[in-house]
Amino acid sequence: MRRRGELPSTARSLRVALHTETDSALLYSASDIAVLDADELLRHPYLARLGPDLLDPSLHWRDLARRLHGPAFRNRSLGALYLDQGFLAGLGNYLRSEILFAAGLHPAQRPRDMDRKTRNRLARATLEIGWRAYLGGVTNPEVRVAALKAAGQSRRGYRFAVFGRDGLPCHVCGAAIERIEVGGRRLYRCPSCQPCASTR
């Protein structure tokens, strides 16, 4: 076990190290680093356009459901929207696949075509999967993880529901997970659990 403040052995270039009494945050290989005050942050050309932080404890699923239905986002496909940091900061490619699977939604669906109950389900799944991923690095629910571990699966086998699992059976229904390209990035889905909107 590494002591607080002790740096890991790596060939990467450490650019910033922030230490508190209990934890350390290490930033490697960054090309652009800035420390900004609140006013500078509001004027930054990229950062000022970011949406709410996925891990902001004050962000409620109802806020996210309203945002999904707002005029700036309601007409976009979920596959595109869930990579847009202006919609929600902190989302990434693997979270996009995992969230859409958990919500049972096809990436081509748009918020405007969903009823309130479906938008609410997506908003809840977004926050739940986001927090689960960031706190433990695993997106599957604990019950599924326990069952997969009991079946002899390694972390690689139980970490994700769909991401990186193309051709493998869905943990829920057994259908083969497929890999598609959306927005120039790979996206994984279960064709049975996430059918096209017209077949639901």
Concatenated DSSP letters for 22-89? Answer: S-EEEEES-S------HHHHHH-TTGGG---BTT-TT--HHHHHHHHHSTTTTTS-HHHHTT-TTTSB
CATH number at residue 105: 1.10.8.50
Q: What is the pLDDT along the chain (200 residues), one digit of tens a residue?
A: 456 567 778 878 888 888 888 888 888 877 778 888 888 877 888 777 889 999 999 999 999 999 999 999 999 999 999 999 999 999 989 999 999 999 999 999 999 999 999 999 999 999 999 999 988 899 999 999 999 999 999 999 999 999 999 999 999 999 999 999 988 899 999 999 999 865 44
Number of domains in the chain: 1
- Burial class (CB within 10 angstroms; exposed 0-12, middle 13-18, buried 19+) of 190: buried
Q: Tell me the residue range of the domain where 151 lies.
A: 52-199
Inside any domain, residue 12: no
